[in-house]
Amino acid sequence: MNVYAMFADAMRRCADAVAIRHGERRLSYRELDAMAAAAGALFASHGCLPGDRILLFLRNGFEYPALLLGAMRAGFVVVPVNAKLHPREVAWIAGDCAPKVVVTHREHVVPLREGLDAATQCRMLAVEDLGLADSPLSKPVEAEPDDPAWIFYTSGTTGRPKGATLTHRNLVAAAVNCLADIFDFRSDDRVLHVAPLSHGSGLYLLPSLARGAANIISDRPSFQPDEVLDMVAAEGITAFAFVAPTMIVRLLDAAPRDDLRSLRGVIYGGATIHLEHIKAAVARFGPIFHQLYGQGEAPMTISCLPARDHVGADDQALLSAGYVRAGVEVKLVDGEDREVGPDEDGEICVRGDVVMKGYWGNPKATASALRGGWLHTGDIGHFDGGGRLRVLDRRHDTIISGGTNIYPKEVEDVIASHPGVREVIAFGLPDPEWGESVAVAVVAEDPELNEAALLSFCKANLASFKKPKRVIFVSELPKNAYGKVLRRALKDQYTSAR
């Protein structure tokens, strides 16, 4: 089954309803289907055959959904990359996946072409020059469930990005499970996409289009909270397709308003959110937040904490990543891949139809990640007393001090609850006595906040061995193109400085 078949019912039932809107431009479901077919025909005219890759290096925009869906409709494999990446980084991805066609903006054509090595032969198309005219409306190409459909490149925070290969089966399972467990999109929804369509927001096009919702695409290069909430009020936005926790923190900075009654769903994930931030968001905006936990290798997702569990919940619930999704299995293992006991921490391992086929062109990494038939996520977690999955941290981020494991998120959650702290990240630094000690980088809300006050706060709220030995005040935390804080960059920077 080609994942595009998921939209057949919406194409019939909502043919004249708005499917995509970007600024003043809009596409009905009928027009979106025609434009996607035209995109597939365009790629085929440049020599693409089923299984060939189409790389999209684009900002959010009007043509993006049709190009994304059109590639899969025609049996090609779409490779969306974040528009904030440097052309050199994109050239490396292109060299890895060998696309037949690259679609980008005019200003990137020459830098990309110059960055590609001689072995990478591809057609470079500027999106401004495409002119996707109507073409004969052929049926979507038949696809086997395990045929690749989307290559999702990881953010590469610890090295070169790897291409998680998602099949038609993976995408169908992820979309169906989203509708079952995370958010039940409806045909009267107006879904705002403020995050890159190359990432989570693009994945959420699938379930929202399957239900006939209108998708409003924002192309703002940065997240402007007041502007976004003005759009919610003016346009009756009912859902944010996907936002990162840093965006929720920014929403708390927006001016108070009482005209957001249309908003019924905010799907967030991609990184952990601190307890005080989500509490403040629920108190201000109401029971509209749906948390997901997953990764590019198992998109949309592994577990979910629904909106109803954000209200009147104890801290244990809000600190969790919710309940394991329908059609997903999770087990926790130790360093020898032995399943741990019910009250122990272990690496989160996943299997089910949402788990990737493997890493593109990287059998060694695939064998390591999928050993024993389970995706080894690299995240450490446990199940709490309510049966919810709690993600403690990345395995490689664990701080080992005096032989004891300290999870950065435990430290961060305490410090983030201080009223003078805006953002915080914890990491380990070499320590001649303990092996490693805890350091924190802090963005202060209160300019008067100092190290002594913060350490005193930690002494009152945190086990002694988990207290930071070093507090570093910074104006902002380094983040990658997806909004994730670069913990490793801070660790490397201050390790080198020492």
Quick one: pLDDT at residue 481? 62
Other beta carbons less than 10 A from residue 25's beta carbon: 11
- Which tokens belong to 204? 């959420």
What pLDDT sits at residue 157? Answer: 46
Looking at residue 408, its pLDDT comes to: 87
pLDDT at 151: 98
Tell me, what amino acid is at 381?
A: G
Does 33 or 87 have the greater pLDDT score?
Answer: 33
Higher pLDDT, 338 or 276: 338
**Tens digits of per-residue pLDDT, 468-493?**
999 999 999 998 766 778 888 898 89
Structure tokens at 232: 């919610």
- Residue indicated by tokens 């009912």: 238
Task: Report the top-level CATH class of 398-497.
Answer: alpha beta
Split at pLDDT 50, 70, 90, the class of 43 is very high
Q: What is the mean pLDDT of residues 239-265?
A: 91
Domain assignments of the chain as residue spans, ordered by start: 3-389, 398-497
Beta strands in 210-362 (DSSP E): 214-217, 239-243, 265-268, 289-295, 298-305, 323-324, 328-333, 346-352, 358-359
Cα–Cα distance between 326 and 20 in angstroms, integer?
Answer: 29
Q: What is the mean pLDDT of residues 361-378?
A: 96
For residue 170, is pLDDT > 80?
A: yes
Residue 307 has pLDDT above 60, yes or no: yes
Match domain 3-389 to its CATH number in 3.40.30.10, 3.40.50.300, 3.90.650.10, 3.40.50.12780: 3.40.50.12780
pLDDT single digits (tens) 203-244: 999 999 999 999 999 998 888 999 999 999 999 999 999 998
pTM comes to 0.84
Provide the percentage of residues in the chain whose pLDDT is more than 90. Answer: 71
The model's confidence at residue 498, banded by pLDDT at 50, 70 and 90, is low
Whether the upstream peptide bond of residue 157 has omega within 30° of 0, thus cis, is: no
Mean pLDDT for the chain overall? 91
Please tell me the number of Cα atoms within 13 Å of 380 on its side-chain side: 19
User: How many Cβ atoms sit within 10 Å of the Cβ of residue 305?
Assistant: 26
What's the confidence (pLDDT) of residue 15? 97
Q: Which residues contact 272 (CB under 8 A, 6 or more apart)?
A: 245, 391, 409, 412
pLDDT of residue 343: 83
Distance CA 425, CA 210 (A): 38
Write the pLDDT tens digit of every residue in 415-466. 999 999 999 999 999 887 777 899 999 999 999 999 999 999 998 888 788 8
Query: What is d(CA 285, CA 266) in angstroms, rounded to the nearest whole number?
Result: 10
**Mean per-residue pLDDT, 157-164:** 75
Predicted confidence (pLDDT) at residue 382 exceeds the cutoff of 50: yes
How many residues are listed for the chain in this entry? 498
Considering only 39-43, 332-336, 395-399, which range has the smallest mean pLDDT?
A: 395-399
**Residue 176 binned pLDDT confidence (cut-offs 50, 70, 90):** very high
**What local confidence, expressed as pLDDT, does residue 482 receive?**
61
101-105, 382-386, 434-438 — which is least confidently predicted?
A: 434-438
Q: Which pLDDT band holds residue 155 (cuts at 50, 70, 90)?
A: low
Q: At residue 113, what is the residue type?
A: R
Cα(217)–Cα(201) distance, rounded to whole angstroms? Answer: 10
Q: How far apart are CA 465 and CA 433, in angstroms?
A: 13
